[in-house]
């Protein structure tokens, strides 16, 4: 597969990506568990069919100590017993936020309430931001057909 456009090399898109990346880095000090961050990014990337981001977040999560069993079960988290109630709430919010066009009226109140039971306001803000940012990156990669498989842990800092 050949990338249609290298958005990291193009000055117009590279400028936009710089700001999206900065938004993601602003979440580094969040109290949201890093494993939840990676699981949410992975799930949204799976839904969007972004192989490049699936590659990144699978490898980063594994490097941070996430188990292969949990990584393999993210796509079927509803049936899996390896996720906490809080992680399940985050994954549900990620799915609803990623499939926002499928739900007239936006995110259902019960999905939000479930997430709010497990996360404080700052953590919810981080979750919402992560979902928005990963969806932006997914779209950039899918639109340009950025190939997956070559990512090295820590490659983007």
The secondary structure of 53-96, three-state, reads HHHHHHHHHHHCCCCHHHHHHHHHCCCCCCCCHHHHHHHHHHHH
Whether the Cβ atoms of residue 122 and residue 88 lie closer than 8 Å to each other: no
| Extended strands (E) in 1-149 | none
- Measured CA to CA, the distance from residue 73 to residue 79 in angstroms comes to 9
Q: How many domains does the chain have?
A: 1
pLDDT digits (tens, 9 = 90+) for 25-58: 999 889 999 999 999 999 999 999 999 999 999 9
Read off the pTM. Answer: 0.94
CA distance 106 to 96: 8
Is residue 150 domain-resident? no
CATH number of the domain within which 133 lies: 1.20.1290.10
Full domain range(s) for residue 131: 11-144
């Amino acid at each position: 597969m050949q990338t249609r456009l290298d958005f990291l090399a193009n000055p117009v898109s590279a400028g936009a990506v710089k700001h999206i990346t900065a938004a993601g880095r602003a979440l580094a000090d969040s109290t949201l568990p890093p494993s939840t961050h990676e699981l949410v990014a992975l799930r949204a990337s799976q839904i969007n069919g972004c192989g490049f981001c699936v590659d990144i977040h699978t490898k980063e999560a594994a490097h941070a100590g996430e188990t292969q069993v949990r990584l393999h079960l993210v796509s079927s988290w509803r049936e899996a017993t390896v996720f906490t109630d809080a992680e399940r709430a985050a994954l549900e919010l990620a799915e609803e936020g990623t499939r926002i066009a499928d739900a007239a009226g936006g995110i259902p109140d019960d999905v939000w309430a479930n997430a709010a039971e497990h996360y404080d306001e700052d953590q919810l803000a981080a979750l919402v931001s992560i979902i928005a940012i990963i969806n932006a990156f997914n779209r950039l990669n899918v639109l340009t057909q950025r190939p997956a498989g070559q990512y090295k842990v820590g490659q983007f800092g």
